[in-house]
Amino acid sequence: MPAPAVLVLEDGTRHNGRAYGAEGTTLGEVVFATGMSGYQETITDPSYAGQIVLQTAPHIGNTGMNDEDPESRRIWVAGYIVRDPSRVVSNWRANASLDETLVRDGIVGISGIDTRAVTRHIRSAGSMRGGIFSGADAGLDPEEQLRQVVEAPQMAGQNLSSQVSVDVATITTAIGERVGNLAVLDLGVKQATIDNLAARGFDVHVLPQTSTIDDIRAIDPVAVFYSNGPGDPAASGDHVALLRAVLDDGLPFFGICFGNQLLGRALGLGTYKLPFGHRGINQPVLDKSTGKVEITAHNHGFAVDAPLEGTFDSPNGYGKVEVSHVGLNDNVVEGLRALDIPAFSVQYHPEAAAGPHDANYLFDRFKDMVVAQQGDTK
């Protein structure tokens, strides 16, 4: 029988369950993810660093874990919450169970709680700090458990890029006809993103988040890409300054998720924290240029503050800008397009592993922009 465990939220709400994964204590921002599949990709997404992730789908772990589907080199979630973990693994590709992997990587989790109730509470009250206390730590005095939760850092104001970025540059060679060197600033990049960029003919240079404009120039890039990642974009001033140098050099730019927020700040726009964020693989987004609605994969707790209609002037002097994509659930900015410089971004994940492929065309749009820019400069 699994050991006891308790989930404690910063408002004092408590949910008793069973230990799942490693036993002990973990603290972080409690958020929910609505995907019904792709739990392996979710927990290995670096954007979840510092967060305790609750899966709204009740049955998790059915297909186990394998060596092909991780999105990065390790599990990044601070903790994990599921309702009914699978007791058996049923997939020919699996070489471990989810709970075994959580134990191996020291990820503290909890199962057997009413995840629907927790989700509804977060949707009403907003994402908040929480803690999972399992095994012997489940027996700690409730006041002590709550004290640890409320003394944990808030997500707002945190710069977490250094926790998830590579330390040294890596290169993935282009597939097919080569376009050129692409500088990818690793703020928490996913492997599926790298694969998609290489498939478009880029030699993908994944650079540490400490890279300077001289480091980028040294690889003679045809373009620059900012990845997804965790943390508050308002706490990433160095990455915004670097991006402004990229734009000043006239290099084509594409950013996703955190990269979208940083493009917004580089253009002179503000960002703000969403009440409970968008996390899942079923989010409807309108592409304003085509009028099509895409079902997309999201993982973000912050958004760009910009007018949804018409064009506006970049406060930092980069010409006209427009919001290119809008989230249909809550009218959140889901994409930006600069009209006078070669730069655009989206707030979601076009590589979508696991998830829908509706937005995969954005990698082609990026390649086309880079190739057109090369033609203009010849």
Per-residue CA distances from 55 to 73, 106, 219, 277, 283 (Å): 21, 19, 41, 14, 16
Catalytic annotation, pick one of 257, 278, 300, 325: 257
Peptide bond between residue 96 and the one before it cis (omega within 30 degrees of 0): no
d(CA 193, CA 273): 25
Query: Which distant-in-sequence residues (6+ apart) come within 8 Å of 140 by Cβ?
Result: 133
Reply yes or no on whether 298 is catalytic.
Answer: no
- Work out the burial of residue 12: count CB atoms within 10 Å of its CB; fewer than 13 is exposed, 13-18 middle, 19 or more buried: exposed
Q: 296-315 as b/e, with b when 16 or more CB fall inside 10 Å? A: bbbbbbbbbebeeeeeeebe
Q: Scanning the structure block, which residue is given the tokens 């994969």?
A: 297
Cα within 13 Å of Cα(64), Cβ side: 14
* Of 121, 232, 227, 228, the residue nearest 184 (C-alpha): 227
* Of 306, 284, 288, 309, the residue nearest 296 (C-alpha): 284
Q: Which two tokens stand for residue 337?
A: 């397009």
Catalytic annotation, pick one of 29, 322, 334, 351: 351
Residue pair 38/130 in contact by the 8 Å Cβ criterion: no
Reply yes or no on whether 278 is catalytic.
Answer: no
- Work out the burial of residue 139: count CB atoms within 10 Å of its CB; fewer than 13 is exposed, 13-18 middle, 19 or more buried: exposed
* Of 98, 47, 104, 106, the residue nearest 79 (C-alpha): 106
The bridge status of strand 223-226 relative to strand 253-256 is parallel
d(CA 92, CA 37): 17
User: Among all residues, which ones are annotated catalytic?
Assistant: 257, 349, 351
